[in-house]
Homo-oligomer: A and B are copies of this chain.
Amino acid sequence: MISLAEENYLKAIYSLNQIQQGGASTNAVAEKLDTKASSVTDMLKKLSEKKLVNYTKYQPASLTNRGMAIAIDVIRKHRLWEFFLVEKLKFKWDEVHEIAEQLEHIRSSALVDRLDSFLEYPKFDPHGDPIPDKEGRINKIHDTVLSALPIGEEAHIVGVKEHSNSFLQYLDAVKLVLGTRVKLINRFEFDQSAIVQIAGKENITISFDISKNLYIKFI
């Protein structure tokens, strides 16, 4: 039996190993879960005993196949619930993460299957993150960002790299939501800020911090 705390550790280790930067070091996991390094060491030992995590003292941790399957299952539930909250209950995309953090721990495979079917098997969550299927297969995560769009070219916004509420609210305010078509009008070398045309209409200026956190797909 996997506890709620254990599920959260597995998810944290998974996501730290996705973004390539030192992987799941003790401190990185502690930071991610807002806990202390000593607590992480305790848990890594336990998860290692349970054969869910590969762990050797003083080294970053990684997931075993079993650990990976559990992490992906939790992520599947998180993203399906986020989709449900936005599509059916009409929450905004900056309001769902916290609730999904709770819902992702509900244990019932029948529930997940039926929810998936009720939602008509969505492929992406409200933030553009891919939803793993029943077998744990997961689409490659987006990798091209708006800051890499050449001047004069067009693309669609397909996801966000940064998930903070303030970022999501900013995007709502300037109408840079998922699905929006954008054209790169100009980019300034000085600070990499850019002028972007939104949905074939108005032009706005966005900072590098914005454009490097928006995933796009070329048209």
Q: How many copies does the complex hold?
A: 2
Binds B, one of A46-54, A107-115, A133-141, A165-173: A107-115
Tell me if A103 counts as interface (CB < 8 A to partner B).
yes
For A89, give its contact among B89, B91, B114 (CB under 8 Å): B114
Q: Are B118 and A91 in contact (CB under 8 A)?
A: no
Q: Are B102 and A106 in contact (CB under 8 A)?
A: yes
Q: Are B118 and A99 in contact (CB under 8 A)?
A: no
In the complex, what residue of chain B is closest to A105 when comparing beta carbons? B102
Q: Which residues of the partner chain B approach A85 to less than 8 Å between Cβ atoms?
A: 111
Tell me if A57 counts as interface (CB < 8 A to partner B).
no
In the complex, what residue of chain B is closest to A4 when comparing beta carbons? B4
Beyond contacts A88-B118, A99-B111: 17 other A-B pairs, Cβ-Cβ < 8 A, are A85-B111, A89-B111, A89-B114, A89-B115, A89-B118, A90-B114, A91-B110, A91-B114, A95-B110, A98-B108, A99-B106, A99-B108, A99-B110, A102-B107, A102-B108, A103-B106, A106-B106
